[in-house]
Amino acid sequence: MTRTPTPPPQSSPSPAQASSGHRWPGRPSRAPPGRPPRGQDRYAGSWNRPTASTILVLGNTGDPITPYQGSVAMGPDLARARLLTIRGYGHTEFANPSTCAANDEVSYLLTGKLPPAGTSCPQNAVPFPS
């Protein structure tokens, strides 16, 4: 059985959504009048606090919603992070799989083992084969 993740409720667009014009289907872009927006308890920083483990940041080079440059820039903003680059198209690695990246992700989640610094994984298939 294939599962499709449900996007979280969102009261206002993220910066990436705002710049692209994207909105989650069926979700209001703001809270109704008289009701405070959701997410008032969200963590807003600081992002450079050391974590118990190094954070694995995934960056897809052809992602139109969360550009790769943002993933690259996020590394130095976090106290402990490692970038895993996926050379591919589309939004997220899950929608456009890379076996190489998936193996590194599973290893990280199960054992905490990070891929070597500078690891770059290809997407399994091109989106528009000729």
How many helices and strands (H and E) does the chain possess? 3, 3
Report d(CA 10, CA 85) in Å as an integer.
27
The two three-digit tokens of residue 41, written as one number: 């308890």
Type of residue at 8? P
Mean pLDDT on 95-103: 90
Mean pLDDT on 45-59: 88
If one counts every other C-beta atom within 10 angstroms of the C-beta of residue 83, the result is 19
**H or E stretch at 71:** helix 68-77
Place of tokens 């954070």: 55
> Band of the pLDDT at 54, cuts 50, 70, 90?
very high
The proportion of the chain whose per-residue pLDDT surpasses 90, expressed as a percent, equals: 40
Which stretches does DSSP call E strand in the chain? Answer: 55-62, 81-89, 120-122
